[in-house]
Amino acid sequence: MKFVPTVVVGPSGVGKGTVISAVRAKYPQVWLSVSATTRQPRPGEAEGRNYYFVDESQFDTMAADGDLLEWATYQAHRYGTPCQPVFEMGRSGQCVLIEVEVAGAKQIKERLQRVRTVFITPPNWSILEERLRGRGTESDSVIEQRLATARREMAYQSSCDAVIVNHQVADAADQLVRFLGLAPVKGSTSPTE
Ligand code: 5GP
């Protein structure tokens, strides 16, 4: 059976993870790929839930062994999507989401015959900046680098199948639910209410 994973892409800080969490809170059958990364965990992040936190040599091995569907370097750290769970979940009929930055999305589109891409965009630039600073987890120089990368990444939205503006998480989540074609939850007027 051919499956069609959905790649969720957009600049760091735009709220991709928050929007996806809002969808999964209502639709636990939606499966989200857990990436491997060489960056350090942020406070509150857990191994195997947010990421698989690996060192450089473990990442090298995963990449060399062909265990990654895609991988990219982002702000001096590497991030990659383990292939096997994506294919297993896809084959078992799960709705598969993969959250990546733009270079990773391009690789997945090249590699898989069928994939759908959703770009999450901020309502405006100052909101993205506020969100990145508000997280309070990165230094000013890291935030500046992430903003510079985000400016370049914004151009990719025209290559995506859908663009969702993240004004309000609940509204953005509703739009993602509709894009995924998920049936409304019983007793709810709106998919994520
Ligand atoms: P963060 O350090 O904020 O968790 O992630 C930085 C960027 O890397 C975000 O845009 C995030 O979506 C992206 N990212 C997370 N996992 C992966 C992955 O497996 N592959 C790629 N290419 N990017 C990823």
CATH of the domain at 83: 3.40.50.300
Ligand 1 atom nearest 107 alpha carbon: 22
Ligand 1 atom nearest 35 alpha carbon: 19
pTM, two decimals, is 0.93
Is 52 among the domain residues?
Answer: yes
pLDDT tens digits, the chain, 193 residues: what are they?
Answer: 578 999 999 998 899 999 999 999 999 999 999 999 999 999 999 999 999 999 999 999 999 999 999 999 998 999 999 999 999 999 999 999 999 999 999 999 999 989 999 999 999 999 988 888 887 788 889 889 989 999 999 999 999 999 999 999 999 999 999 999 998 877 655 555 4
Residues 6 or more apart in contact with residue 87 via CB below 8 angstroms: none
Nearest CA to ligand 1 atom 5: 12
Strand ranges of the sheet holding 51-53, from the earlier edge strand across to the other edge: 51-53, 35-37, 77-82, 68-74
Domain count, the chain: 1
**CA atoms of 193 and 29, how far apart (whole Å):** 17
Is 188 among the domain residues?
Answer: no
Q: Which residues line ligand 1 (CB under 6 A)?
A: 12, 16, 35, 39, 70, 72, 74, 79-81, 99-101, 103-104
| DSSP bridge pairs for 78 | 73
Is 189 among the domain residues?
Answer: no
* Vertex 81 angle, CA 75 and 82, to 5°: 140
Is 185 among the domain residues?
Answer: no
Ligand 1 atom nearest 153 alpha carbon: 10
Distance, CA 183 to ligand 1 centroid (Å)?
28
pLDDT tens for 49-103 read: 999 999 999 999 999 999 999 999 998 999 999 999 999 999 999 999 999 999 9
Q: Angle of helix 140-153 relative to helix 125-134, nearest 10 degrees?
A: 140
Distance, CA 116 to ligand 1 centroid (Å)?
18
Is 115 among the domain residues?
Answer: yes
Strand ranges of the sheet holding 6-9, from the earlier edge strand across to the other edge: 30-32, 95-100, 6-9, 116-121, 162-165
Of 86, 96, 100, the one to substitute when testing ligand 1's pocket (max ligand atoms within 8 A of C-beta) is 100
